[in-house]
Chains A and B, each alone.
Chain A
Amino acid sequence: LDTYFLEEANVETAIIGIYDLMQFNYTLDWSSVFFVKLLPGDDAGAGGSGPNDQSQLHEIDDYANVSSSNASITSVWNLFYRTIALSNLVIENIKDSDLSNKQSALAEAKFLRAWCYFELTTMFGDVPLRLTVPAVATDFGIAKTSRADIYVQIESDLTDAIDGLADKSAITDNFRVSKGTAQALMGKVLVFQGKNLEAIPYFESVISNPAHDLETNPADVWSVNHEFGIESLFEIGYISTSARDWGNFAWGGRNESNTHIQLMGPRGDGIFDLTGTGFLNGWGFNLPTSKLVNAFDAAGDVNRKAATVMTEAELIAAGGAVDPSKATGGVIEDYQGAIRTKYITKNSDTSADGVKELNYSTNWRVFRYAEVLLLAAEAYNAEGQDDKARIELNKVRNRAGLADVSDTLAGTALFDAIVNEKFLEFAHEGQRFWDLVRWGKASTELAGTGYTSKNDLFPIPITEIDKNSELTLADQNPGY
């Protein structure tokens, strides 16, 4: 370590290491952030072979017995902090250097640190704010910092990131974050704090930048053919060429392929016959709710629905079949009459030969332009600029093949339209639940599901409380 950060190339390698940890965290076997974050939403159910198959995921999905020893929540916590720790290491080691790539590297590391803290505070509330590398074991203990102060640090990091990052049009490695990404995240962070007026300029910068736009076709948004495309602001990349097989697959480790696609494919074992769809069987997690399917139908949404879900009737029409008798106890877990097509197990997305199950290359679009438009619409609406709000909302609607909202739609009614649009546009993308919480809509939208206000935050992992000398059980989130 003593000499590592004296060279520009090594700094770049360490930055790639941070991205790699992001990739790790977003696809780790049964505990991917991508999945854990979307489970409490009303757009998706956990699924799998039964209620005891990865019971920790069902617990989050069902708001039942979510405990501080939930292995998936623990993993999400640990890996965000690992990503932060590596960012801290880079920042601490180069901040006083005179390396030529110091500014861009600092900006990238600070963006990634800000991203992680934003995800953490969204899911856990007040969390330890660690900005330095522990030198000795006694440094491991660190107290919690209030969410408000976490936001202050995120904004500070994002300010530096915006200064130091290049414009999207100037980025050579397409997976890297750009100035626009940081501006968009700053806007999102401000909206999450209710600072809508402050957020608007950031969104406007992103929207006015020609390097950013929507994909034309809804299905292309999640397609491997449009990876790192024009709509993408931040994307976690995966590849199909790392030749994973059942012998060399790193369970709980680092795989370059997207394991979660397999996890979330319609379950095989004779349950879902996918003949005629071009889809392959998987392990049955992440099924759409009937509420989501109905919402598409109610909106008259056809194209975007097809890119998101497939009903049983549509599956049978394509040549497939569903046989619940093959499932344990004759019931397909969390199946409400449709399978998900967004991020599905597409034969074309995995390796041509080798073990298809383990080599999906599908990228997660964890931050995309459509979200900026809807966040901007939300901010304008909150600030009484409904005309501007409608413009941004309509961009998203038009792409989905839907008509403009009425010119007279305003105020709360317009807000509700934005809420519904986001439900459809970001189904199965992990935004829904956390939006419902901050909008104060969780108790109404999730009524009857077992949700209570304690679910607004995940429990802090018991392993953290046990080992962090500055935390006690009194620091646990309410209700856990």
Chain B
Amino acid sequence: VSGTVSDKSGPVPGVNVLVKGTTTGTVTDFDGKFDISVSKGSVLVFSYVGYLTQEVNYTGQASINVLLQEDAALLDEVVVVGYGSKQKSLVTGAISSIDSKQIKSSSNQRVEQVLQGRTSGVTVSSSSGSPGQGAQIRIRGAGSSGNSDPLYIVDGMKVSNISTIAPGDIANIEILKDAASAAIYGTEGANGVVIITTKAGRSSNGGVKVGFSTQLGTQFVKTDMELMNSSQFVEYMNEAGISSVVDNGVNTNWLDAIFESAPITRYDLNISGGDKKLSYYGSFGSIKQDGIVGKENSSFKRKTFRINLKSEITDFIEVGYNATYSLSDRLGIQENSDTRGVIQNAIALDPLTPVTYANESDVPQSVLNNQIIDNGDGTFTTIPLLRDGNGNVYGYPTYSTGEFVNPVAFANVMNKTTYDENQSIFSAYLKLKVIEGLYITTRYGRESGKTDEKNMINPYYVSSEAANTTYTGSQNYRKSRRWLWENFVNYDKTIGKHNFALLGGYSAEDTDGSTIIKRSGSIAIEDFTGFDFDLAAFNQQIDLVDPTADNMVSLFGRLSYDYDGKYLFEGSLRSDTSDKFPSANKTGTFPAVSLGWVLSKEDFWKQDSKIDYLKFRGSWGQNGSKSNLSGNSDKTYVTSFLNGQEIVYEGVTGAQITAYANPDLVWETSEQLDLGMDLRALNSKLRFSIDYYTKTTRDAIVSDGSLITPGSAGFVSNEFNSGTIENKGFEFELGYGDTTTGGLSYNFSANLSTLKNEVKEILFVPEGTSLVGASAPQNPDGVTRFSQGLPSWYFYGYKTNGIDPATGEIIKVDTDGVSGITSADKTMIGSPHPDMLFGGNIALGYKAFDFNLQFQGTIGNDIMATFYQPSRPITNKPVHFYTNRWQQAGDNASFPSAANAISAYDTDLVVEDGSYMRIKQIQLGYTLPQNLANKLKLDNLRLYVSLDDYFTFTKYSGLDPEIGNFDFKSIGVDRGFYPTAAKALFGLSVEF
């Protein structure tokens, strides 16, 4: 008999068709067709991963056409966990999954973006909106005062970052949130684990399957930030007593001037196929993205190559090989600086400066004079004027003094910073089946990368504090390498209704890095012929080896048990021995246990209950973290090199110590309790999960020893254990999906997480004092701090209580009880941590059309702006400084008089509510109907248009509320954040 197997979108190739009770079988071909010899009365079984298995009685029909139903319950979906996989229904921990369908519909260019807003408990904040800049992923909050990045596992291999993975290559992502799930990764699981599995070749008759997708689009800034215009600025400056500022007819909106639309293109090609003996998946991806500031000067290009191979050589030997190679080139503008950043300059530069002078003759004589440098020996050097691509001279600041330069010139011509990076990761494994249920796996992986950073500065003379009178360049070329060798045994055994799964293993790893070349120098203007770093002018150092060892050996084991899928238990233990710890404390042991009860499997559960599945689960575990350690912290080193430069005095080499040993350092331990419930109801159309967790990080390691070392100690301490941090919260995930009889499919999902972060204890520093965090021009004693009883790295400054109606001065709140306002009155004026994170997705499908809307946001976090310059009075500011200012006696204003503006910079007047909701994606797709596609010899063709990051709802008056940061001490500190670009995209994908 023959027939066709299809699902609601068309024929399905590769479906297993088996005559029940026999070994006779076949698989469907590309068109979903099958042909099999079968006798009357037999039963045909149709099975395919992700679909409900169907059985059809053969009663002599001419043909059998089967419509496969997707397995809506997904209860038997397999979840990848550390060193194995597990049926989702048996999972006792808190694990969120993102499957390839969600990834497929996403128009994101980066994996981190794919994660954003998809599941509860996961915060993704880009460190910058600049193309190619990574993002910080936080699972259940920042568990450490330092690096809180999760552990990334790709195809079993531990990798340092996931930014080089093309989203199109990903089959699924699992996020292990609770300690028990992550505990099998021991010392590196404290901040959660992200496990990525890339696509494998499909064993489908040996045929070749090709997929191609492309995306073209444009990016632009969408912001409501408003600065003073020139007439407001002149009035404001005059009121501040700076009468020299007069209206010169120029009115530059610097935000309009620096932002421009920029293109983005992406191509992905993959080929897969194979059979049981060998399956293969290969892909090539390319992305090119220009920046919305400085265009090509803040661009990102990446090419990725991947090959995944798998072979079952015999019934008992399986081998696999996964390799990826990526090449990326990134150019970056100066950002995240509160004195010398492009965006910060755009916010603060006076609007009376033109972007470019209309005519050469408009260039002020004083600017021309400044370009001539008197060498003092009768000769003169002339510095070329800054010009745009058309030869027009860029405007030099009319009034702003100091470090300020024209941000358009800054972004485009003054300097150029390039980061070229290549990374290769491979892992190979051999899996032996010893007896039924017993497997031995050995896996070796290697990650290596090179980063070449070059910085080139052209000559310019804007002011005495913003000048470069030569061509200046530097290069830093580094490499890093890590290998990981893991050997483990899995044994699965069922005795009656008792199911056991055992895991035991051993692993070893080694990481090192070194600087291949480091050089810097400058060339006089008259001698310059181009940036050639091989010239003698660039002082060169080679082969600088990082002195610290980073090896680790581990033993781990896990027992999973369930009785009839009803009562679930899992326990695991891992012991890590790392070189990074002092001799006395090298080994850490991390236990975990979890329990589950599937109530809906009990006999007393009514079969007709609307609730199909109900599970309660609880877990407890301990994890460690070594990511904040540089190693060798129990040693004091004498060195003749500091920051790559030799210590030398009057031509003689000197030496000093770098820091004091800390022999008492212990492992940072994160302990987490998780209670959860999973529920599915209404024929699994409704899905609901709830989790409550408390995560306590003890002995949190801080690498910056200066935080606890008083100046009188002379040098600082090595890393130290700083105290206890607690994160706790609830997580909810809710979904509802169905297909109406009219053919409309819909799926709504939403997630919500609450988060409370608190520093419970600080060691070493006396009670009542704080660790000082990020500094900013307005507050050298730290705009962020870390204190007992408060959220980690909260904002620090003066609380205000309005504006004195008589004087226009800010009324600062006296908090220390000692009369008078002193720096001791500074206190917490905001927290960067949101009370709540949320995200959601609406997916609709009707006939050939699909629609997807995804949103994400935060509630209750604050943002502190530090792009203000107290030392430079003639600077622009957000317009609310003008509109809300005090003008005359009796005014009840919310902002001080112009004369008192500077005193606002270290108060809560520059702290705002950073809550926002952003529609990450609105996408409309069209899939060519199968019959049309077939005529084009295609399996599938889909077109879509998408608006990404287009709509944002926030009260924040800065450029972008989605403030990430490069530095853990500066979360929520807006130094002039490179905003996330809105994107309008068109995409096409075909498979044949």
B388 at the A interface (CB under 8 A):
no
Q: Contact check, B654 vs A20: say whether CB atoms are below 8 A apart.
A: yes
Q: Which of A427-480 contact B (CB under 8 A)?
A: 461-464, 466-469, 471-473
Contacting residues, chain A, for B637 (C-beta < 8 A): 1
- With A269-B401, A269-B464 in contact, do A89 and B657 touch (Cβ < 8 Å)? yes
Residue of A nearest to B717 (CB): A137
Beta-carbon nearest neighbor of B474 in chain A: A247
Minimum CB–CB distance for B688 against chain A, Å: 48
The reply to whether A10 and B655 contact each other, CB–CB distance below 8 Å, is yes
In the complex, which residue of chain A has the Cβ closest to the Cβ of B642? A254
| B789 on interface, CB distance cutoff 8 Å | no
Bound-complex Cα distance A281 to B654 (A): 33
Q: Determine if B708 and A467 form an interchain contact, defined as CB atoms under 8 angstroms apart.
A: yes
Q: Are B366 and A16 in contact (CB under 8 A)?
A: no
Cβ-based interface call for A209 (8 A): no
B654 and A463 contacting across the interface, CB-CB below 8 Å: no
Distance between B814 CB and nearest chain A CB, rounded to angstroms: 16
- Knowing A69-B823, A254-B647, A280-B374, say if A142 contacts B472 (CB, 8 Å): no
Interface check A153, CB cutoff 8 A:
no
Tell me if B244 and A354 are in contact (CB < 8 A): no
- The answer to whether A356 and B469 touch across the interface, beta carbons within 8 angstroms, is yes
Contact across chains for A175 and B650 when beta carbons are under 8 A apart: yes
Task: Decide if B653 is an interface residue (CB 8 Å cutoff).
Answer: yes
Residues of chain B lying within 8 A (CB to CB) of residue A83: 714
Give the nearest-CB partner of B526 in chain A: A353
A283 contacts which chain B residues (CB < 8 A)? 464-465
Q: Which residues of B contact A316 (CB under 8 A)?
A: none
B645 interface residue, CB < 8 Å from A? yes
Are A269 and B522 in contact (CB-based, < 8 A)? no
Q: Are A55 and B870 in contact (CB under 8 A)?
A: yes
Min Cβ gap A212→B in Å is 21
Question: Please, which residues of chain A bring their CB within 8 A of the CB of B824?
Answer: 473
Per the bound structure, the CA–CA distance linking A222 and B842 in Å amounts to: 76
**A69 CA to B826 CA, complexed, in Å:** 12
Residues in B whose Cβ lies below 8 Å from that of A18: 654
1/0 per residue, CB under 8 A from B, across A199-237: the answer is 000000000000000000000000000000000000001
Report the nearest B residue to A3, measured CB to CB: B638
The distance in angstroms between the C-alpha atoms of A270 and B539, with both chains bound, is: 34
Query: Which listed residue (B377, B764, B772) contacts A469, Cβ 8 A?
Result: B764
Contact of A267 with B by CB under 8 A: yes
B822 touches A54 (CB 8 A): no
Interface centre among A20, A74, A274, A353 (most CB of B within 10 A): A20
Check if B715 is an interface residue, CB within 8 A of chain A. yes
Does the CB pair A137–B902 fall under 8 Å? Answer: no
Q: Check if A19 sits within 8 Å of B649, measured CB to CB.
A: yes
Q: Which residues of B contact A239 (CB under 8 A)?
A: 650-651
A245 within 8 A of B: yes
**A134 contacts chain B at the CB level, 8 A cutoff:** yes
Q: When the two chains form their complex, are residues B370 and A269 in contact, meaning their CB atoms are under 8 A apart?
A: yes
Write out the residue numbers on chain B whose beta carbons fall within 8 Å of the beta carbon of A81: 711-714
Cβ distance A63 to chain B, nearest Cβ, rounded Å: 16
Question: Quick one: which of B708, B766, B824 has the most chain A CB within 10 A?
Answer: B766
| Cα distance A136–B660 in the bound complex, in angstroms | 8
Q: Which residues of A contact B714 (CB under 8 A)?
A: 81-86, 88, 130
Contacts of A175 in B (CB 8 A): 649-650
Query: Contacts of B470 on A, CB cut-off 8 Å?
Result: 245-246, 354-355
Closest B residue to A235 by CB, please name it.
B650
Query: Is the CB–CB distance between B823 and A462 below 8 Å?
Result: yes
Contact present for B654 and A19 (CB under 8 Å)? yes
Q: A419 at interface (Cβ–Cβ under 8 A)?
A: no
Across the interface, A329 reaches (CB within 8 A) one of B242, B662, B709, B770, namely: B242
User: In the complex the two chains form, what is the Cα distance from A347 to B381 in whole Å?
Assistant: 14
Question: Given A20-B647, A23-B649, A78-B711, are A243 and B656 also a contact pair (CB < 8 Å)?
Answer: no
Docked-complex contact A137 and B662, CB < 8 angstroms: yes
A69-B780, A326-B366 known; A140+B244 contact, CB < 8 A: no
For the complex formed, measure the closest distance between the CB of A463 and the CB atoms of chain B, giving whole angstroms.
6
Contact with B along A123-140 (1 / 0, CB 8 A): 000011010011011101
Query: Would A137 and B720 count as touching, CB distance under 8 A?
Result: yes
Q: Which of B598-606, B871-879, B951-959 contacts A (4 or more CB under 8 A)?
A: B871-879
- Judge if B802 is at the interface, Cβ distance under 8 Å: no
A156 contacts partner chain B, Cβ-Cβ < 8 Å: no
Cβ–Cβ < 8 Å partners of A89 in chain B: 657
Q: How far is the CB of B192 from chain A (nearest CB, A)?
A: 30
Contact A468 B647 (CB under 8 A): no
Other-chain contact of A49, B401, B521, B780 (Cβ < 8 Å): B401
User: Is the Cβ of B712 less than 8 Å from the Cβ of A128?
Assistant: yes
Smallest beta-carbon distance B507→chain A, Å: 32
User: Could you tell me if B664 and A56 are in contact, using CB atoms closer than 8 angstroms?
Assistant: no
* A307 to B243 Cα, complex, angstroms: 38
Contact of B472 among A245, A329, A467 (CB under 8 A): A245
Across-interface contacts of B712 in A (CB, < 8 A): 77, 81, 127-128, 130, 142, 464, 468
* Complex Cα spacing A10 to B637, Å: 13
Q: Give which listed residue, B636, B657, B717, contacts A140 with CB less than 8 A.
A: B717
1/0 per residue A279-322: CB within 8 Å of B? 01111000000000000000000000000000000000000000
A462 and B781 in contact, given A1-B637, A348-B376, A354-B470 (Cβ under 8 angstroms):
yes
Contact for A280 among B369, B376, B656, B772, CB less than 8 A: B376
A407 within 8 A of partner (CB): no
Bound Cα distance A49, B126 (Å):
37
- Residue A21 CB within 8 A of the other chain: yes
Is the CB of B96 closer than 8 A to any CB of chain A? no
A53 touches B638 (CB 8 A): no
Closest A residue by C-beta to B464: A268
Q: Are A355 and B710 in contact (CB under 8 A)?
A: no
A412 interface hit (Cβ, 8 Å): no
Cα distance A472–B650 when bound, in Å? 41
B520 within 8 A of A: yes
Report the separation of the CA atoms of residues A85 and B871 in the bound assembly, to the nearest whole angstrom: 34
Partner among A52, A128, A267, A464 whose Cβ is within 8 Å of the Cβ of B872: A52
Task: Convert A144-159 into 0s and 1s, putting 1 for each residue whose CB lies closer than 8 angstroms to a CB of B.
Answer: 0000000000000000
What is the minimal beta-carbon distance from B303 to any residue of chain A, in angstroms?
Answer: 30
Docked-complex contact A463 and B366, CB < 8 angstroms: no
Are B710 and A468 in touch, CB under 8 angstroms?
yes
Within the complex, the shortest CB–CB distance from B894 to chain A, in Å, comes to 24
Given contacts A462-B781, A467-B765, contact A85 B655 (CB under 8 A): no
B708-A140 in contact (CB<8A): yes
In B487-520, which residues have CB < 8 Å from any A CB? Answer: 520
Whether the Cβ atoms of A77 and B655 lie closer than 8 Å is no
**Bound state CA distance, A326 and B402, in angstroms?**
13
Q: What are the residues of chain A within 8 A of B370 when measuring CB–CB?
A: 268-270
Which of B370, B457, B645, B660 is the most central at the interface, judged by chain A CB atoms within 10 Å of its CB? B660
Q: Give the distance in Å from the alpha carbon of A2 to the alpha carbon of B366 in the complex.
A: 60
Contact A466 B656 (CB under 8 A): no
A53 and B664 in contact, given A81-B711, A137-B764, A245-B521 (Cβ under 8 angstroms): no
For window 694-725 of B, CB contacts with A under 8 Å fall at 707-715, 717, 720
Chain B residue, CB-CB nearest to A346: B376
Q: What would 15 more interface pairs be, CB under 8 Å, given A53-B872, A328-B874? A: A13-B654, A84-B714, A237-B650, A245-B468, A246-B468, A246-B469, A246-B472, A247-B521, A268-B370, A354-B522, A354-B524, A356-B375, A466-B772, A469-B765, A471-B710
Instruction: List 13 A-B residue pairs with CB atoms under 8 Å apart, sorted by A's residue number.
Output: A1-B661, A4-B638, A15-B654, A16-B649, A56-B780, A140-B709, A140-B713, A140-B764, A245-B520, A247-B474, A254-B645, A283-B464, A354-B522
Those 10 A-B pairs whose CB atoms lie nearest each other, nearest first:
A85-B714, A347-B376, A16-B654, A247-B472, A245-B522, A78-B711, A17-B654, A468-B710, A248-B520, A467-B710
Chain A residues engaging chain B, CB cutoff 8 angstroms? 1, 4, 10, 13-21, 23, 49-50, 52-56, 67-69, 71, 74, 77-78, 81-86, 88-89, 127-128, 130, 133-134, 136-138, 140-142, 173, 175, 237, 239, 243, 245-248, 250, 253-254, 256, 267-270, 274-275, 278, 280-283, 325-326, 328-330, 347-348, 353-357, 461-464, 466-469, 471-473
